[in-house]
Amino acid sequence: MKTTLTVCAVQQPCNQDRQANFDYSVAKIYEASANNADLVVLPELHLDPYFCQNEDYRHFDLAQSIPGPTTEFLMGLAKKLGIVIVSTIFEKRAAGLYHNTAVVFDKDGSLAGKYRKMHIPDDPGFYEKYYFTPGDIGFKPIETSIGKLGVLICWDQWFPEAARLMSLAGTEMLIYPTAIGWDPEDNDDERQRQLNAWITIQRSHAIANGLPVIACNRIGFEKAPDSDKGIQFWGNSFIAGPQGEILTTANENDAQLLTCTLDKTRTERVRQIWPYLRDRRIDEYGNLIKRYID
């Protein structure tokens, strides 16, 4: 298995129709392949505009099965290009049962595995609990030809427990497909605080677990249905190393393909120097399974 990997994150707009959004994603996968990438990560729910801004049963028509038309196409593309692809799909598991699901395709065209989003938000403009059942697969890395990938999705990125459990299960990198943005009514100071928090929490997962992190967001304004309001997706996708150092980053406005090299031997060395897993006091962490300690 290779000790150095070329990895890519696609920062793209998703505010057009499904075919246009998908064509853009596919074009960026080809571009990543031309850069000799081993891995390319797409933003959360990159096929469609962010439909969770309101609660509308008609949006369930956007869901598809796994395997299904999108996964079949991406399996063929992964094999054709010899690249590992991480996509996120609105999964129809059964009538009335839907998930926000990351799917990983290996270089041989196989479906390496999937992860169903565990933490589901329910906030103004992000009404995901209406659409998505919390995941039931757990925090399990997905085995691929380039190593074990710890794929989590958006709201999962705020929870240190999720990153730690992926780390304890042997993941070699943390991957966060994301759809996050500002309320346009927020002032500049509040926007900066939110963005800084988003970057900081994910860099902290890199540091606390000694693992690289790939955070991949969408960009652009997406108007809410039947409203003049909407979400300004803030981009700022980035890839960080195992000490939280920023290796490459995007801005808030532009479609970009982030590309960098990850060195597995360096990750191992960092974990030897900062042995957090060795020094964890697992005998004293029992209360972590409680909602709150009264």
> What residues are annotated to the active site?
44, 117, 154
Among the listed residues 272, 217, 211, the one whose alpha carbon sits nearest the alpha carbon of residue 247 = 211
Contact, 209 vs 164, CB < 8 A? Answer: yes
Contact, 136 vs 129, CB < 8 A? Answer: no
Q: Which residues contact 119 (CB under 8 A, 6 or more apart)?
A: 134, 155, 156, 158, 159, 162
Q: What are phi and psi of 198, to 5 degrees?
A: -60, -45
**Whole-angstrom distance, CA of residue 218 vs CA of residue 233:** 6
Structure tokens at 196: 């800084």
